[in-house]
Amino acid sequence: MDRRRFLQTASAFTVSAAVAGCLGSAGSDDEPSNSQTQSSGVPSIVENRPDGIYIPSHIEGMKMSGTAEQGDYAFGLMYSYAHRFWNVNGDSTTLTEIEDDDAIHLMANVWDPETGTVLPDTGLSVEIYQDDSLVSQETIYPMLSQPMGFHYGANFGLSGDGAYTVRLNVGAMTTRRTGSFQDRFSEPTTADIPFEYSEQERNEISFERFDTEAGTNGAVDPREMEMMPDSRAPSESTLPGRVIGTGMSNDAQFVVTVIESPPAGIDGDGQYIAVSSRTRYNQMVIPAMGIEGTLLRGDETVYDGEFTRTLDPELNYHYGAVVDSVESGDELTLQVTTQPQTARHEGYETAFGGLMGGMNDVTLAVE
Three-class SS of residue 226? coil
Report the residue number, 123 or 240, with the smaller CB distance to other proteins: 123
Q: How far is the CB of 353 from other proteins (least distance, A)?
A: 12
- What is the identity of the amino acid at 123? G
Is residue 340 within the footprint of other proteins (CB under 8 A)? yes
Dihedral, 126, 129, 135, 141 alpha carbons, nearest 10? -10
Nearest CA-CA partner of 168 in 195, 143, 187, 189: 189
289 binds other proteins (CB under 8 A): yes
Judge residue 235's burial from the number of C-beta atoms within 10 Å of its C-beta, 0-12 exposed, 13-18 middle, 19 or more buried: exposed
Residue closer to other proteins by CB (options 137, 180) is 137
363 touches other proteins (CB under 8 A): no
- Report the residue number, 43 or 290, with the smaller CB distance to other proteins: 290
Instruction: Output the smallest distance, CB 283 to other proteins, in A.
Output: 21
Q: Which is nearer to other proteins, 87 or 182 (CB)?
A: 87
CA distance between the termini of the chain: 32
Helix (H) or strand (E) holding 45: none
Q: Tell which one of 43, 270, 290, 313 touches other proteins (CB under 8 A).
A: 290
Which lies closer to other proteins via its Cβ, residue 94 or residue 235? 94
Please spell the DSSP secondary structure of 127-168, one letter per residue: EEEETTEEEEEEEEEEEEETTTEEEEEEEE--SSSEEEEEEE
CB under 8 Å, gap of 24 or more: what pairs does 9-16 form? 9/213, 10/208, 10/210, 10/213, 10/220, 10/221, 11/221, 13/59, 13/206, 13/208, 13/220, 13/221, 14/221, 14/223, 14/224, 16/61, 16/206, 16/208
> At closest approach, how far in Å is the CB of 173 from other proteins?
8
Q: Which of residues 176-195 bind other proteins (CB under 8 A)?
A: 186, 188-190
Candidates 21-29, 54-62, 310-318, 333-341; binding stretch for other proteins (CB under 8 A): 333-341
For other proteins, the closer CB: 23 or 288:
288
Let me know: does 43 contact 60? Beta carbons within 8 Å: no
CB of 196 to other proteins, least distance (A): 22
Nearer to other proteins, 20 or 252 (CB): 252
State which of positions 113-152 bind other proteins (CB under 8 A). Answer: 121-123, 125, 132-134, 137-139, 141-142
Query: At 79, is the secondary structure helix, strand, or coil?
Result: strand
Neighbours of 138 (CB within 10 A): 14
Which stretch in 50-58, 168-176, 255-263, 358-366 sits in contact with other proteins by CB under 8 A?
168-176
- Shortest distance (Å) from residue 262 CB to other proteins: 18
* DSSP letter assigned to residue 98: P
Contact call for residue 313 and other proteins (CB under 8 A):
no
**By CB under 8 A, is residue 298 in contact with other proteins?**
no
Is 27 buried (19+), middle (13-18) or exposed (0-12) by CB count in 10 A? exposed
Choose between 123 and 313: whose C-beta lies nearer to other proteins.
123
Beta pairing partners, 243: 257
Sites for other proteins among residues 60-99 (CB under 8 A): 87, 89-92, 96
Q: Which of 177, 309, 318, 345: binder of other proteins (CB under 8 A)?
A: 309
Residue 80 C-beta: closest distance to other proteins, Å: 20
Length of the chain in terms of residues written: 367
Burial 270-288 (b: 16+ CB within 10 A, else e): bbbbbbbbbbbbbbbbbbb
The one-letter amino acid at 357: G
Of 169, 182, 217, 335, which lies in the binding site for other proteins, with binding defined by CB under 8 A? 169
Q: How far is the CB of 90 from other proteins (least distance, A)?
A: 3
Residues that bind other proteins (CB under 8 A): 87, 89-92, 96, 121-123, 125, 132-134, 137-139, 141-142, 169, 171-172, 174, 186, 188-190, 287-290, 309, 337-338, 340-341
